[in-house]
Structures are given as structure tokens and as C-alpha cells.
Structure 1
Amino acid sequence: MLRSFRIIALLEGISYLLLFGIGMPLKYLAQIPEPNIYIGYAHGLLFVLFVAVGLLFTMESKWGMKNFFISFVASLLPFGTFWLDKKYLKPLAEKA
């Protein structure tokens, strides 16, 4: 479950950066909305998966709601999921 959570966290972070780094500028500066639609759908799906798998991981491993809350807040910030992986998830994976 930890491996899945780490992968989804990294993909969610990448999709966030793509959405705001490529999708939004194309939509508002170049009037090309199509990439934003697809990147937005992918980001939305990955965000929902991140929260769902994060909750499952929290319950399965008794990770604690405080850590889940930190992971949720990290998912709302640019580069937050990368920080989460480095600070919390990678050390857990190295222990296992």
C-alpha cells in the first residue's frame, strides 16, 4: 500500500505542476483551453486517488490522522507531494 501511495503522490504532484505550469498559461495566455481540460481531469482523478489511498494507507498502517492531515495539506501546495515523499514516505519505505 505504501508503494502505491508514493506513486500516486508523485503522479498527483506532477499533474498539479502540469496543470498550473502548462495548462493554465495555455488557457489564459494563448486561448488554447483543450490541454487544460485533459490535464485537469487527470489531476482531479489523481487527487481523489491520493486522498482515498492515503486514507486506506493511514488505516492499514496506523499511520495516524495527523500524518494524513499533513499529507492532505501537502497535496494542496505546489511541490507539496514531493516534500511529503521525501520527508515522510521514503523513510517509511526504507524501514520496511
Structure 2
Amino acid sequence: MAFRIEKDTMGEVQVPADKYWAAQTERSRNNFKIGPEASMPAEIIEAFGYLKKAAAFANHDLGVLPAEKRDLIAQACDEILANKLDDQFPSLFGKPAPVRNQI
């Protein structure tokens, strides 16, 4: 498995190269393996997808976010809502968050 080095206030940590998270999430995965019941609920991840997409459009309408960034954020949110990035939301147990139902 390939890794990249991420840094935070605690120093360096190896993160799997194919994951989007950074140092603090990797530390949590390694240090707090207390079970899936402590992971972020799938409904919250889905809600963040809707929230971030709406915020991107609102900020563009206010003139504080360029259209290119709005579109990139919207694309990422659509991928989250289509369950294409489920493996990017780890539970504290070290497994991906449960797959969400599509609306």
C-alpha cells in the first residue's frame, strides 16, 4: 500500500495515498478504535453533502466564490450523495462508514 506524509501540530503521520483525509483523521483511526457506534452517522455525511453544495451556490451568488470553485464543490458533493466516496469517510473502527440509501 502506498502512503503519503501529512503533518499537523503533533508531527508527521502516514496516510494511505488513495484517501482524501489528513493527519488528524488518520490519528483518530489509529488511536481510537472503539467501534462503529462511535462513527459519524451516514445521515450526517449525506446532510453535509447537501449543506456544502447549497453553501457553494449561496457563496457564488454573493460574489465570494468563483464559479469554477462552486462547480468543483458541487461535483464533489454530488459524488458524496451518489455514494461514490463512501470509503473516504472512515469510522473510528477503521472501516468505511455504512453505505447510504440514495434518495
TM-score, with length taken from structure 1: 0.39
Structure having the higher Rg: 2
Higher relative contact order (CA 8 A, sep 6+): 1
